[in-house]
Homo-oligomer: A and B are copies of this chain.
């Protein structure tokens, strides 16, 4: 099962790390931008090609030391269909380098729409009886607000096509308190109830690693809540955003680990892909992807120190 293969890859690399591929023009080195803008003008297609060139060089320099990448689709989708195509091209390229891809799409809708999202992002496309090969992520993130019937179509595709999910439970942003922390009638915060639902949704999809194909998004910026959820959800693999640029550190994460089975994969985006701008690593623009590799190795050391 996919989740077991992810756990094995984390064990092999000793890197419970996913590199967030959330390109922004301000973080792409000038030599990449200038060349493509000069040829194509300042168009959405140019941005898509710039983002792909940037992603490709990052991937080429980290694929042997991390198990996964996580493109944030918002960064691509804002550039329309050209950006969307770059998102899919990035998935294909990452998978050609044997990286697992977590598509950070956070979709959530009624079942008939969820079926469509699922078909496009992790399932299969069938056009009037003909199966069409498309680039699909290995995992996607989804939003649980609309309830179980809005999640079921994804569960079916997880089962049928060996894919996985990470459902939002307690997110890394400060505003997550506004709804996710609201106390329920039993005194517990909403996120702990959502955590229970997520465990239940995943209970028939548990692999030999002991983890379910249905994971949870739990922010690194809330260490106490994360520790509480870790205890309550022993069979749920966590995708943990909020490390690095958003404020979380290795120390904040120590309660998340479940021995050599890890139990969590930690995302860093800007902290790795824009490492050359931080002053902490190689600072030459041309070597931006070498700086990214240095940042991965530093992150790995930081995580390992508390495992």
Contacts and interface: CB of A to CB of B under 8 A. Distances in A.
B79 A120 contact: yes
A273 to B, nearest CB: 13
A226 interface: no
A178 B80 CA distance: 34
Residue with the greatest number of chain B CB neighbours at <10 A, chosen from A107, A173, A187: A173
A183 B184 CA distance: 6
A88 B77 contact: no
Interface string A143-167: 1111111110000000000000000
A120 to B, nearest CB: 3
A106 interface: yes
Contacts of A107: 74, 106
Contact of A88 (B75, B78, B81): B81
Interface residues of A, number: 73
Contact of A77 (B83, B120, B128, B150): B120
Interface in A58-98: 72, 74-75, 77-85, 88
Contacts of A212: none
Contact of A178 (B82, B147, B185): B147
B175 A147 contact: yes
B182 A145 contact: no
Interface string A118-156: 011000010111101010000000011111111100000
Given A43-B132, A117-B74, A173-B146, A125 B79 contact: yes
Contacts of A80: 84-85, 88, 120, 125, 134
A53 interface: no
Interface stretch (A189-197, A232-240, A297-305): A189-197
Given A80-B84, A184-B185, A194 B173 contact: no
A193 B80 CA distance: 34
B42 A78 contact: no
8 contacts: A37-B128, A77-B117, A80-B84, A104-B113, A147-B173, A148-B175, A179-B193, A184-B184
Interface of A: 22, 25, 33, 37, 42-44, 46-47, 72, 74-75, 77-85, 88, 104, 106-114, 116-117, 119-120, 125, 127-130, 132, 134, 143-151, 168, 171-180, 182-185, 187, 190, 193-194, 197, 241
Given A74-B107, A79-B125, A149-B173, 5 more contacts: A106-B108, A108-B145, A143-B143, A144-B179, A151-B175
